[in-house]
Structure 1
Amino acid sequence: MSNKDQKALEVYGLTNLGEVKRNLTAPELYEEIIKNGEGKIAKGGAIVCLTGAVTGRSPNDKFIVKEDTTEGDVNWSKGNVPITQEKFDNIYNKLCAYLQQKDVYVQECYAGADEASRIRVRAINEYAWQNLFVQNMFIQEPDETKLANFEADFTIICCPDFKCKGELDGVNSENFVLLNFAKKVVIIGGTAYAGEMKKSIFTVMNYLLPKQGIMSMHCSANIGKDGDVALFFGLSGTGKTTLSTDPERALIGDDEHGWDDKGVFNIEGGCYAKVINLSREMEPDIFATTEKFNTVLENVVMDDGRNVDLDDDSITENTRASYPLQSIDNIEPSGKGGMPKNIIFLTYDAFGVLPPVSKLTVPQAMYHFISGYTAKVAGTEKGVTEPKAVFSSCFGEPFMVWHPSVYAKLLGEKIIENNVTCYLVNTGLTGGPHGIGSRFKISHTREIIRAILSGAIDKSEFMEDEIFGFGIPKTLGDIPTDVLHPVESWKDKAAYKAQLTQLAENFKANFKKYEAGTDAEIIAGGPKI
């Protein structure tokens, strides 16, 4: 610890701290984690840490300070709940008092691989393992001189053991995630789920990048040997990570990207993969990271012999692995690529009516982007007894600050300018809803993705769906026609039509909340009933 390190934190009101441990290396952080009793080392070298009672994001505990700079910009909604500056200051001051005499871990890094639009991020952590998570997830500065003179554009202060008093502090529970764009700081407490830090900075970028005409996206991206870039949008369970991690294509990034006038760039420097039921055979690249030094395994079960069980969901179904991109063999080290050639929207349709692949017009692409559809399968969530349609605008509603149409317009402009082809790929069910139908074979899905990325699908003749209007290929390689056209896989054709119509009605009902701020052209991209 140096006096300079102490002084650097006084600007935040953090005084009388214990030791400030700044920019420790991964081995040094491992030592701290073990010394503090925060985690255990598994076979292979990954560090296993538990988050306690909270094992996922706390969407009802996230607030944005409503002040002059954000009042007219933010799409105030269920996902963007306002809190006053006064209430923020009250909690912030208590947090500063809580940290007195406590050691803190500081990590300084970047969000954004593009040097022109990146932001400098400083994370101040109570836990060493969360500081290692930050090191994994954001982009490191190799130049020690620049690091020594680092000045943050945005700061995270994360203290899981500091808890609020709910309504007394003006929040909903003891957990809180408070973003203050005027003070350029996010404070997190009551929850040790590390994903809150990652998603908070993504939320910051989702606010800042569109102000510069840059599209911010909750998607993965990879690049082919010829420089062709593909974007994969999709909610949890749709196969985004699996399908974008391709041995034939270099991974640009796993989850968060920007798209500017030069092309696509990764916002992060690592991956935060869901690892429940991960197998060495189906996802070898991601599985290998669970046996590597640097990886943080979050809420993964480990036995006394230091063996992890990725099939065990006794702690949570939301088990995670955080690892630097360099842990994947086939990556694009710059974190950047050119203009996308293809955009793929992934969905898991548990109703069994959407085709495995559909070609979208530009208005349809913007409509489906705003909709962000997938479906929960019966039995995967408490209280869900039958398939349930789920919509998350822009495939990342909790992290989008502006009205969804702002992001959709930016996307539409870039699709047109760069002649990008867009597809909707269903990785869900066919032949009937959950309990009757079966999931599309992963081999068929992979063949579809290869056909899109190689351009082979362009040779297909397309037919227009009578309700959704998108184009369905009549034939595609060796894929059977009853797979390409779900109606052929349903025994009861009337039931298929009724289910397809009901899904279209679900789309239209969901979209009503966005119509007030959305262009007619985008609305026209929706289904016709």
Structure 2
Amino acid sequence: METFGLEKLGIINPTAVYRNLSPAQLTEAALRRGEGTLSNTGALVVTTGKYTGRSPEDKFIVDTPTIHDSIAWGKVNRPISQDKFNAIRAKMVAYLQNREIFIFDGMAGADPACTTKFRIVNELASQNLFIHQLLIRPTSEELAAYGEADFTIIAAPGFKCVPDTDGVHSEAAILVDYEQKLVLIAGSQYAGEIKKSVFSVMNYLMPNHGVLPMHCSANMDPETGDTAVFFGLSGTGKTTLSADPARKLIGDDEHGWSDNGIFNFEGGCYAKCINLDPEGEPEIYNAIRFGSLVENVVMDPETREFDFFDGSITENTRVGYPVNYIDNAAIPGVGGIPKVVIFLTADAFGVLPPIARLDENAAMYHFVTGFTSKLAGTERGVKEPQPTFSTLFGEPFMPMDPSVYANMLGERIEKYNTKVYLVNTGWTGGPASGEGKLGSRMKLKFTRAMVTAALNGELEKVEYKHDDTFNLDVPQSCPNVPSEIMNPRDTWEDKAAYDVSAKKLAKMFADNFAKKYPNMPKNIAEAGPKGE
């Protein structure tokens, strides 16, 4: 039996080893093993058990002398000793003996100068299908000449850690050893942990190659090649807005910015499915077909039809599919130097303008701040909108000091004269929840129109008004958008209530910035909202 070098990891007694099976073969294996069922569209549907999302408190980085000074240690990047890592690795490898093993040898980084080879070793065929579709798939010639991987990830959801013995937080653990070039994922069946482990590794490696790694989506004009990137946390619309039928999709989540331009780290997309509407998001809806992996979406057991509006398992329902399932995908996933950068936020307070122009200092401020807000009711005890500040719009995946990434972005904005806008895909006319008159979610067609105007230069021709509270320049008109929604205060019936909420959120911005970035240069610190 061919083992494809698994013995180098200590896996010496597998019952079978499968390398780079096709999506059809992996789907068959998952069905045979009882890992999931087929939907009426042919997609493989699984439930992920206890873990229906990432588990940030369970992520650790092995602290060794070689990498110690390059990691921003803290609540996000928690250290674990080499001895503890090695002990867990030994137990995980023992767990994998006498089991079927699924290997995917693929790549991250569509720019050949920056391509990194990843070997993913899976206990589950369904997770192997996921990562097969999410990473860049080698051709048969590339696979024959693949050689050794640059990094290896072992994912074994059935192996449960013992916190007291293993020195971790729970039965699940995501452990990254940058020295041994190895990642261990234990206890969680949520496939996003594998994807984001690849991202975390790339975020550590790429700056040393002069490449800015970014948690963003990207697309480009099919005729001119003009490229745009969209930063934003989950639920802000990165995937939706970048899947624009009028533009070519480069990728929906993870990219690098080199001297040559933008390139996708991945070969697939991982989209949220909650409230998925075929009219509003046809590209994602139509991508849910044979070869896709669907996580935690409720399905009628008889008809096998999805109910995308049922969040009873989790609001974080997901689908993973290859980027070529999007008709207008750019293959390979490369584009030019970005002409426009969009920062997306979903403001549940309903007080930020739907779009605002940022100068270089304000761009740096909002990049390091990474604001969005979670809704009341999504977590126990949350009774009003809660601010979420995630550094660089991707704090959980950035192992180095934020200034490393922020300085790289600032240098590029200045060098290439890239235009930057802050777009609020959240609420208008009032808050998402609470007392008084509630607002409504910004209509997708208006957001799309504003983004289009930013991309084609129309917003450079209109009048602007300065918002003193948030220190933003707000366009007073935009093609195909009602002018009355451009200034959020005008959309509130109770102007005094707006003023209270706006000042409250501005103070949250200021307090967060002062706490997290006390050493940030004055010109950047003063470019944000006023907290008085």
Q: TM-score, normalised by structure 1?
A: 0.97
Q: CA deviation at 1:453?
A: 1.2
Instruction: Quote the residue 2:62 is aligned against.
Output: 65
Among 394, 397, 413, the alignment partner of 2:395 is 397
Secondary structure of the residue aligned to 2:114 is coil
Cα distance in 1, alignment partners of residues 217 and 177 from structure 2: 27
Indicate if the aligned counterparts of 2:373 and 2:385 stay in contact, CA closer than 8 A.
yes
Instruction: Quote the residue 1:222 is aligned against.
Output: 219
Change (3 A) 1:351 1:248: same
Q: CA deviation at 1:502?
A: 1.5
195-204 or 454-463, which deviates more: 454-463
- What amino acid maps onto 2:365 in structure 1? Y
Among 14, 30, 41, the alignment partner of 1:44 is 41
Instruction: Quote the residue 1:511 is aligned against.
Output: 513
Indicate if the aligned counterparts of 1:245 and 1:251 stay in contact, CA closer than 8 A.
yes
Cα distance in 1, alignment partners of residues 372 and 213 from structure 2: 21
Residue 488 in 1 paired to residue 490 in 2?
yes
Q: CA deviation at 1:497?
A: 2.3
Cα distance in 2, alignment partners of residues 480 and 193 from structure 1: 41
Q: TM-score, normalised by structure 2?
A: 0.96
- What amino acid maps onto 1:171 in structure 2? V
Indicate if the aligned counterparts of 1:427 and 1:445 stay in contact, CA closer than 8 A.
yes
Q: CA deviation at 1:115?
A: 1.1
Q: CA deviation at 1:176?
A: 0.6
- What amino acid maps onto 1:439 in structure 2? R
Cα distance in 2, alignment partners of residues 34 and 343 from structure 1: 42
Residue 2 in 1 paired to residue 2 in 2?
yes
Q: How does 1:120-519 map to 2 (within 5 A)?
A: 120-144=117-141, 146-147=143-144, 149-225=146-222, 226-290=224-288, 292-302=289-299, 303-435=301-433, 436-519=438-521
Residue-by-residue CA offset, 1:222-266 (whole Å, 9 max, x unaligned): 001211101111112212111111010000000000000000000
Residue 15 in 1 paired to residue 12 in 2?
yes
Q: CA deviation at 1:131?
A: 0.6
Q: CA deviation at 1:517?
A: 4.6
Instruction: Quote the residue 1:77 is aligned against.
Output: 74
Q: Which consecutive unaligned segments of at least 5 residues does structure 2 have?
A: none
Instruction: Quote the residue 1:94 is aligned against.
Output: 91
Cα distance in 1, alignment partners of residues 493 and 172 from structure 2: 50
The aligned length equals: 525
Indicate if the aligned counterparts of 2:105 and 2:143 stay in contact, CA closer than 8 A.
no
Change (3 A) 1:208 1:417: same
Secondary structure of the residue aligned to 1:56 is coil
Query: Which consecutive segments of 4 or more residues in structure 1 shift more than 4 A?
Result: none
Cα distance in 2, alignment partners of residues 215 and 309 from structure 1: 39
Q: CA deviation at 1:44?
A: 2.1
Secondary structure of the residue aligned to 1:205 is helix
Q: CA deviation at 1:356?
A: 0.6
Cα distance in 2, alignment partners of residues 307 and 79 from structure 1: 39
Secondary structure of the residue aligned to 2:377 is coil
Change (3 A) 1:199 1:507: same
Residue-by-residue CA offset, 1:83-120 (whole Å, 9 max, x unaligned): 00011011111111111111200100001111111210
- What amino acid maps onto 1:32 in structure 2? A
Secondary structure of the residue aligned to 1:155 is strand
Q: CA deviation at 1:504?
A: 1.3
Q: Identity percentage over the alignment?
A: 50
Cα distance in 2, alignment partners of residues 309 and 178 from structure 1: 35
Change (3 A) 1:107 1:517: farther
Residue-by-residue CA offset, 1:399-445 (whole Å, 9 max, x unaligned): 11112121111001001111100000111112222242222222221
Cα root mean square deviation, aligned: 1.4
Residue-by-residue CA offset, 1:191-222 (whole Å, 9 max, x unaligned): 11110000001000111111222110000000
Residue 527 in 1 paired to residue 525 in 2?
no
Residue-by-residue CA offset, 1:382-415 (whole Å, 9 max, x unaligned): 2211111111111111111112121111001001
247-256 or 67-76, which deviates more: 67-76
Indicate if the aligned counterparts of 1:361 and 1:422 stay in contact, CA closer than 8 A.
yes
- What amino acid maps onto 1:249 in structure 2? R
Residue 111 in 1 paired to residue 105 in 2?
no
- What amino acid maps onto 2:528 in structure 1? G
- What amino acid maps onto 2:440 in structure 1? S
Residue-by-residue CA offset, 1:305-331 (whole Å, 9 max, x unaligned): 322222222222211101000111011
Change (3 A) 1:403 1:38: same
Q: Which consecutive unaligned segments of at least 5 residues does structure 1 have?
A: none
- What amino acid maps onto 1:514 in structure 2? K
Cα distance in 2, alignment partners of residues 517 and 164 from structure 1: 39
488-497 or 75-84, which deviates more: 488-497
Change (3 A) 1:489 1:312: closer
Secondary structure of the residue aligned to 1:354 is coil
Secondary structure of the residue aligned to 1:406 is helix
Cα distance in 2, alignment partners of residues 198 and 27 from structure 1: 21
Cα distance in 1, alignment partners of residues 527 and 213 from structure 2: 22
Secondary structure of the residue aligned to 1:317 is coil
Secondary structure of the residue aligned to 1:221 is strand
Indicate if the aligned counterparts of 1:275 and 1:320 stay in contact, CA closer than 8 A.
yes
Indicate if the aligned counterparts of 1:160 and 1:192 stay in contact, CA closer than 8 A.
yes
Q: CA deviation at 1:53?
A: 1.6
Indicate if the aligned counterparts of 1:141 and 1:147 stay in contact, CA closer than 8 A.
no
Secondary structure of the residue aligned to 2:524 is helix
Residue-by-residue CA offset, 1:116-140 (whole Å, 9 max, x unaligned): 1121000000001111111000001
Q: CA deviation at 1:27?
A: 1.4
Indicate if the aligned counterparts of 2:203 and 2:213 stay in contact, CA closer than 8 A.
yes
478-487 or 188-197, which deviates more: 478-487
Cα distance in 1, alignment partners of residues 78 and 339 from structure 2: 36
Cα distance in 2, alignment partners of residues 145 and 263 from structure 1: 24
366-375 or 95-104, which deviates more: 95-104
Change (3 A) 1:34 1:456: same
Q: CA deviation at 1:149?
A: 4.0
Secondary structure of the residue aligned to 1:198 is helix
Residue 27 in 1 paired to residue 34 in 2?
no
99-108 or 516-525, which deviates more: 516-525
Q: CA deviation at 1:480?
A: 3.1
